[in-house]
Amino acid sequence: MNNTELKSYMQSVGQQARAASRIVAKADTALKNQALIAMADAIVRDEQKLLAANAKDLENAHAKELEAALVDRLTLSAKGVANMAEGLLQIAALADPVGAISGLDYRPSGIQVGKMRVPLGVIGIIYEARPNVTADAAGLCLKAGNAAILRGGSEAIHSNQAIAACVREGLHVAGLPETAVQVIETTDRAAVGELITMQDFVDVIVPRGGKGLIERISNEARVPVIKHLDGVCHVYIDDQADLDKAIRIADNAKTQRYGTCNTMETLLIHAGIANEILPALSKIYLDKGVELRGDAAACALVTQMNAATEEDWFAEYLAPILSIRIVENLDQAIDHISYYSSQHTDAIVTENYTRARRFMREVDSSSVMVNTSTRFADGFEYGLGAEIGISTDKIHARGPVGLEGLTSQKYVVFGDGQIRQ
């Protein structure tokens, strides 16, 4: 496609999405669930087709010598296919947010005012290698009454198209417009530039992927973006912490999984308790192969620790590396977090009531925790059912974004002939 053709293709995708969004916004719960279940059925039935399409993408990835981590994210197993179908069934089982009315209170004038949850309209999802996002995002957007335009990574184009065929089939079975979920057919990067500037046809963009992708999209978008940039998560162990809880939490927050955005990257320890807890904790980390990087005070307590640099405090390692700092008190811990945290998820371990309350109030992150592991910051763990991503923004949605984050609320007013005086 040349530039003119691309622009006209994207405009037509946008127009069709807008038209479809009006229909899915009105669709009742049973119809949307029927589509989701039919999508899942098609995915289960087409397992071999999906794996074959994925094999083609993997072949190209190997030919292009793409990096191992990317190939890993690109790979779809039989279990991955089953999980996609299962995810769609789980979304079907969630309560329908659309049309729910809350807070319907009478006012002194006699009118009754409440808020009705409504779809956002058209949601553009831009993602990288993981093909399962195609099914997850399609399902979440549809259940929330939105049309979706999906733009996956070029390396996953065959997998995404094969999944998209199952999604379209599900929509067709339920009698919903197949254009309610469209997967961009071109791998041209300029398509992203069009998608994020079509203000008439796209209501919000959700980018999922590396920091580079998300920064580029945020800077160039002319429609609102729900994004999370990175997860530099902290655990602060207070000197009034329960030591058993502290060790269990600090271990879990770092080592339960290394590559996730809610993994702890920096551990802060109150100076009054550091020599009591740090040697034991360090042994756990070192036994699991975690590289430790500390400030001078931490290094003085543990021989197998490297000196941390200023960059370490900002780093999202996504790897078995942990930076450790000894702080004088809660204020210094909060100051450190205010300065270095990416406002994703931060936790305090303490038995002190007032310090717990201060930490919860003053730490300005999308999730703030007391006496538990940062690894819990997740849509499933929070009971949202599923998530389209985790927002570190403050506007519209913050933290794990589920069906509610993909909707808005309008005011509804019921009267019996009241007029304004």
- For a second copy, the binding residue among 19, 100, 111, 284 (CB under 8 A) is 111
- Whose structure tokens read 């205010």? 338
193-212 binders of a second copy (CB under 8 A): 203-204
As given in the structure block, the two tokens for residue 410 are: 């309008």
Does position 406 bind a second copy by CB under 8 A? no
**Side chain identity, residue 6:** L
The window from 21-29, 86-94, 272-280, 323-331 that contacts a second copy (CB under 8 A) reads: 21-29
Q: In whole angstroms, how close is the CB of 30 to a second copy at the nearest point?
A: 15
176-195 binders of a second copy (CB under 8 A): none
Instruction: Mark 234-273 as b/e (b = at least 16 C-beta within 10 Å).
Output: bbbbbbbbeeeebbbbbbbbbbeebeebbbbbbbbbbeeb
Distance between CA atoms of 6 and 14, rounded to whole angstroms? 12
229-248 binders of a second copy (CB under 8 A): 242, 244-245, 248
The window from 61-69, 113-121, 125-133, 283-291 that contacts a second copy (CB under 8 A) reads: 113-121
Residues 6+ apart with CB under 8 A from 49: 162
Of residues 6 and 116, the one with the C-beta less far from a second copy: 116
Does position 418 bind a second copy by CB under 8 A? yes
CA distances from 86 to 93, 111, 311, 390 (A): 11, 44, 41, 21
Q: In whole angstroms, how close is the CB of 131 to a second copy at the nearest point?
A: 26
- Residue 417 class from Cβ within 10 Å (0-12 exposed, 13-18 middle, 19+ buried)? exposed
Distance between CA atoms of 236 and 400, rounded to whole angstroms? 22
**Terminal-residue alpha carbon distance, the chain:** 60
Of residues 26 and 56, the one with the C-beta less far from a second copy: 26
Distance between CA atoms of 67 and 72, rounded to whole angstroms? 9
Does position 394 bind a second copy by CB under 8 A? yes
String marking each residue 341-370 x if it binds a second copy according to CB under 8 A:
------x------------xxx-xxxxxxx
- For a second copy, the binding residue among 259, 272, 279, 415 (CB under 8 A) is 415
Of residues 209 and 405, the one with the C-beta less far from a second copy: 405
- For a second copy, the binding residue among 42, 118, 142, 191 (CB under 8 A) is 118
Helix (H/G/I), strand (E/B), else coil: 238: coil
Adjacent-strand bridge partners of 123? 148, 204
Does position 23 bind a second copy by CB under 8 A? no
Does position 410 bind a second copy by CB under 8 A? yes
Q: In whole angstroms, how close is the CB of 387 to a second copy at the nearest point?
A: 12
Does position 420 bind a second copy by CB under 8 A? yes
Q: In whole angstroms, how close is the CB of 70 to a second copy at the nearest point?
A: 26
Adjacent-strand bridge partners of 323? 266, 293
Please report the DSSP string for 153-210 in residue order: -GGGHHHHHHHHHHHHHHHHHTT--GGGEEE-----THHHHHHTT-TTT-SEEEEES-
Adjacent-strand bridge partners of 218? none
Of residues 81 and 250, the one with the C-beta less far from a second copy: 250
Q: In whole angstroms, how close is the CB of 375 to a second copy at the nearest point?
A: 4
Q: Phi/psi zone of residue 135: left (φ > 0), alpha (ψ -120 to 50 degrees), beta?
A: alpha
CB 224 within 8 A of CB 197: no
Does position 375 bind a second copy by CB under 8 A? yes
- For a second copy, the binding residue among 8, 77, 109, 354 (CB under 8 A) is 109
Helix (H/G/I), strand (E/B), else coil: 142: helix
265-324 binders of a second copy (CB under 8 A): none
Of residues 48 and 106, the one with the C-beta less far from a second copy: 106
As given in the structure block, the two tokens for residue 57 are: 């993408």
Helix (H/G/I), strand (E/B), else coil: 309: coil
Adjacent-strand bridge partners of 181? 148
Size of the site for a second copy (CB under 8 A): 64
Does position 25 bind a second copy by CB under 8 A? yes
Q: In whole angstroms, how close is the CB of 215 to a second copy at the nearest point?
A: 12
- Whose structure tokens read 């999730």? 367
Does position 105 bind a second copy by CB under 8 A? yes
Does position 77 bind a second copy by CB under 8 A? no
String marking each residue 248-267 x if it binds a second copy according to CB under 8 A:
xx-xx---x-----------
Q: Which residues would be at the binding site for a second copy (CB under 8 A)?
A: 22, 25-26, 99, 105, 107, 109, 111, 113, 116, 118, 120-121, 203-204, 224, 242, 244-245, 248-249, 251-252, 256, 338, 347, 360-362, 364-373, 375-377, 381-383, 394-396, 398-400, 408-420
